[in-house]
Amino acid sequence: MYHMKNDRRNFIKMAAMAGSAAAILPLTASGTEKKVKVSGADYSVLDNVLKLPVLKKELFPSPIIIEKIELLQDRKNFICRVRSKDGAVGISIGHPFIAMNSYPMFMNILIPFFTGKDARDLDELVYIISETKVKNQGIPFCVQLATIEFAILDMLGNIAGLPAGRLLGDVVNPEISIYLGHWLTELRKLEPEQSLELMYQDAIKTKAKAVKIRAGRGDNLASDIDNAPGRTEKLIRMAREKFGDNMVLMCDGNGSYSVKEAIRIGKILEEYKYYFYEEPLPWDWYQEQKHVEQALSIPMAGGEEEFGIHAFRYLIANKVFQIVQPDLFYFGGMIRTMKVARMAKAAGLRITPHMSEGGLGFLYMLQMVSVCPALEKFNEFKMFKTLDANGTVIPIESKAEKFESIDGIIKIPSGSGMGVIIDPEYIKTHKVINI
Amino acid sequence: MYHMKNDRRNFIKMAAMAGSAAAILPLTASGTEKKVKVSGADYSVLDNVLKLPVLKKELFPSPIIIEKIELLQDRKNFICRVRSKDGAVGISIGHPFIAMNSYPMFMNILIPFFTGKDARDLDELVYIISETKVKNQGIPFCVQLATIEFAILDMLGNIAGLPAGRLLGDVVNPEISIYLGHWLTELRKLEPEQSLELMYQDAIKTKAKAVKIRAGRGDNLASDIDNAPGRTEKLIRMAREKFGDNMVLMCDGNGSYSVKEAIRIGKILEEYKYYFYEEPLPWDWYQEQKHVEQALSIPMAGGEEEFGIHAFRYLIANKVFQIVQPDLFYFGGMIRTMKVARMAKAAGLRITPHMSEGGLGFLYMLQMVSVCPALEKFNEFKMFKTLDANGTVIPIESKAEKFESIDGIIKIPSGSGMGVIIDPEYIKTHKVINI
């Protein structure tokens, strides 16, 4: 089992290198030489998939005019409600810890732009607003864009009687294996024993087959400073000992390292047979990240801080990572994420979207990954917690099956839209913000 | 005169290419081969200048504790007021059209971070907050960071009895030549004749020796679509005819073009002896921009949408532009801009900061450029307009000399801090936002 996983890891990397095994890792027509030169990257294949439509407009024969868009607030928490001219409603919950920093963009930019538009033009609307609002670009803007897109997809799913994911693609992943990306950011400051025990408890609850630990200080400063001397090395070793050879283990650097230290830590991860190695360098150190990638055999993952299609196009064409991780919120929603997934597929790479803790993140994630091509086997999961930005549990009821992890596997919800009913009493605690 | 300018243009580019003429364009120790390979860029020289301190701490022997930071609001407009433990005060005006989209970041992130800190540690404070708040990164965050930095520099300048610029360097540019970057964004939609006439009036008022026109649709979509067929070609030709051979002309593409069209337009600019060619491609098309740069002999300018030091490090090391244009607000203030200026100098390139219209932009600009190494001869100017976000003229009084453009040259104000007193009655129309 242990070696099988190790073989699989090498296999991912080798497939990307050698252009083999097309059935499992779809490759580009032009081949997939791994150590591609920057100037020689083949962008034409990626540009072709970027042109493909995402939203299945054919599901909606008549215009669906977005008549009203409301942002509701209760202290730090935000809810988006959209209503069509014909009375269809869609609801989403804002990002749990960024919405409060950028909600004026929702009011000043997104409401005026989306109001009165035909929701069937969502591809084009998302493209225009994300690419032209240059001075407002960034994660905080994309978080608001994702919020409105999720509400519109909820509304469209309710109209079509289909889960939101189905509006964007065919269900290629009716269930997914999870990896535990622990919700407690402060994990890094705990003793390795303590932090591993917390993850262990979650692993028991979910029977997850994969767990991700956090290396370094996670400061995005390439400081090479650990929270305690030797803490990361100890954590890497102890995680393998605690979870055993059958557990798939990943490691997230969150920008802790410079190139040299990133490679040193990577070699230790290889020694302990880790599955992937995430973002050891600050996110925008693209060329340095390519150096690290080339120096290691462990597959590398990254991209959660990206907000630009063009940036992913570069990262994918140049195979800076083997596994790309757009965040559904930070990257501005599902339509844009689908474009990244398609590029990853075209380049023989994989995608596993990043997920913040809290809110309804896991719901949006499940809709997305259900239809995601080139999906990595394991997908981030931070428990079925629905804490909102005020620390209140968002009361939701599934429209269909229960949300549960059985043997580390979660079935995609089959209810319409985002698959849940949010308790109207909870929504009532939020007041509409007036422009 | 005409040919002299043209010679100078070629000279800038050639100096950067050949490593000659060190007296005018300081070059790196490692030489400045223009068509440097991406993988071969010499980053060590840049990394060395990045380590140098910016704020002259030696001017302040005792701690200056930032005791109180307030954000004041009047509808769309924001004012920042900082107060030291010893009662010194600094004031800045928020960005005229982005502050209203991201002011919660000021409240939620910047006030808690800067309160209680020693203002003498400003270099380190700016570094930490700009590099670690990864999920909030982008122009909207940097605009808030710049606002607080300007207020702190105003306070420090008032304490030291020095203009803000002098806190960051020696005055190497006691006066600057302006170029008119017209304040009317809608200029693009006017007939070439009309838009040129508006610029002409400004040129008469200021006696500016340089004018920048706007090409294409300015959509950041690389659409290659003009607002009217042939409008840009006509504008380029007519601007030369209207202003004559003695006027220095620049052209800004604002992301209108794909590579092929960018080069075609660039060749026309060369034909009409334009001085620089700004941002023809969407800002994050780095590799494509390098292709355009290599295909043209006209110096290229860009960088106004950047918010990362690491991005400028890449752009400068690889000489993607000959002239870099960080925006004081979008890039998060003067300390970070000084780091870009130093990198530009080390690489034999030039800097001319970008400036948004409105607010007190020109004041901040004047302080910055007064101490900027490797400053491009012509600097952006959008008239002495001080319209705030609500369209109200900000009533300011210079502490020293009058603000005026004489023969297209503006003297750097010598008053302390940002050099002005803002009418207290105006400030009173703004109310402190409570956290």
Cβ of B102 within 8 Å of Cβ of A100? The answer is no
Q: Mean pLDDT over residues B306-327, rounded?
A: 98
Residue pairs between chains A and B whose CB atoms are closer than 8 Å:
111
Evaluate if residue B200 carries a pLDDT over 50: yes
Partner residue facing A140 (CB), from B138, B286, B314: B138
A135 touches chain B (CB under 8 A): yes
Domain of B123, CATH number, reads: 3.30.390.10
Q: Mean pLDDT over residues B186-205, rounded?
A: 91
Question: Residue B381: inside a domain, yes or no?
Answer: yes
Question: Residue B126: inside a domain, yes or no?
Answer: yes
* Amino acid A8: pLDDT: 44
Closest-CA distance, A378 to chain B, in angstroms, reads 24
Question: Residue A28: inside a domain, yes or no?
Answer: no
- Cβ-in-10-Å burial (0-12, 13-18, 19+) of A180 comes to buried
Q: Per-residue pLDDT tens for B56-78?
A: 999 999 999 999 999 999 999 99
Say yes or no: A158 and A175 in one domain. Answer: no
Domain total for chain B? 2
Q: SS in 3 state form for chain B?
A: CHHHHHHHHHHHHHHHHHCCCCCCCCCCCCCCCCCCCHHHCCCHHHHHHHHCCCCCHHHCCCCCEEEEEEEEEECCEEEEEEEECCCCEEEEECCCCCHHHHHHHHHHHHHHHHCCCEHHHHHHHHHHHHHHCHHHCEHHHHHHHHHHHHHHHHHHHHHHCCEHHHHCCCCCCCEEEEEEECCCHHHHHCCHHHHHHHHHHHHHHHCCCEEEEECCCCCCCCCCCCCCCCHHHHHHHHHHHHHCCCCEEEEECCCCCCHHHHHHHHHHHHHCCCCEEECCCCCCCHHHHHHHHHHCCCCEEECCCCCCHHHHHHHHHCCCCCEECCECCCCCCHHHHHHHHHHHHHCCCEECCECCCCCCHHHHHHHHHHCCCCECCEEEECCCCCECCCCCECCEEECCCCCCEECCEEECCCCCECCEEECHHHHHCCEECCC
Q: Mean pLDDT over residues B299-316, rounded?
A: 98
B283 touches chain A (CB under 8 A): yes
Say yes or no: B127 and B181 in one domain. Answer: no
Say yes or no: A202 and A143 in one domain. Answer: no
Question: Residue B9: inside a domain, yes or no?
Answer: no
Cβ of B101 within 8 Å of Cβ of A102? The answer is yes
**Contact of B365 with B328, CB cutoff 8 Å:** yes
* Amino acid A186: pLDDT: 78
Question: Residue A208: inside a domain, yes or no?
Answer: yes
Average pLDDT, chain B: 91
Say yes or no: B71 and B215 in one domain. Answer: no
Say yes or no: B98 and B190 in one domain. Answer: no
The residues, ordered by sequence, that sit 6+ positions from B210 with a Cβ below 8 Å of its Cβ are B177, B178, B179, B180, B247, B248, B249, B250, B275, B378, B408
* Amino acid A26: pLDDT: 28
* Amino acid B13: pLDDT: 55
Question: Residue A239: inside a domain, yes or no?
Answer: yes
Residues of chain A with pLDDT under 70: 1-41, 183, 185
In three-state secondary structure terms, A41 is coil
B220 touches chain A (CB under 8 A): yes
Q: Per-residue pLDDT tens for B362-409?
A: 999 999 999 999 999 999 988 888 999 999 999 999 999 999 999 999
Q: Band the pLDDT of B150: cuts 50, 70, 90.
A: very high
Cβ of A101 within 8 Å of Cβ of B98? The answer is no
* Amino acid A407: pLDDT: 95
Cβ of A221 within 8 Å of Cβ of B141? The answer is no
Say yes or no: A140 and A115 in one domain. Answer: yes
Say yes or no: B160 and B175 in one domain. Answer: no
Which of A141, A284, A307 to probe by mutation at the B interface, max B CB count within 10 Å? A284
* Amino acid B27: pLDDT: 28
Residues of A in contact with B283 (CB under 8 A): 134
Q: What is the ipTM of this complex?
A: 0.91
Domain of B207, CATH number, reads: 3.20.20.120
B221 touches chain A (CB under 8 A): yes
Question: Residue B11: inside a domain, yes or no?
Answer: no
Evaluate if residue B327 carries a pLDDT over 80: yes
Which of A102, A188, A329 to probe by mutation at the B interface, max B CB count within 10 Å? A102
B185 touches chain A (CB under 8 A): no
pTM to 2 decimal places: 0.92
A50 touches chain B (CB under 8 A): no
* Amino acid A3: pLDDT: 38
Say yes or no: B65 and B136 in one domain. Answer: yes
Domain of B260 in residue numbering reads as: 171-418
A283 touches chain B (CB under 8 A): yes
| Gap between the terminal Cα atoms of chain B | 58
**Contact of A330 with A143, CB cutoff 8 Å:** yes
Q: Mean pLDDT over residues B9-22, rounded?
A: 42
Cβ of A104 within 8 Å of Cβ of B101? The answer is yes
Partner residue facing B308 (CB), from A103, A221, A284: A284
* Amino acid A6: pLDDT: 42
* Closest residue on chain A to B41 (Cα): A287
Question: Residue B338: inside a domain, yes or no?
Answer: yes
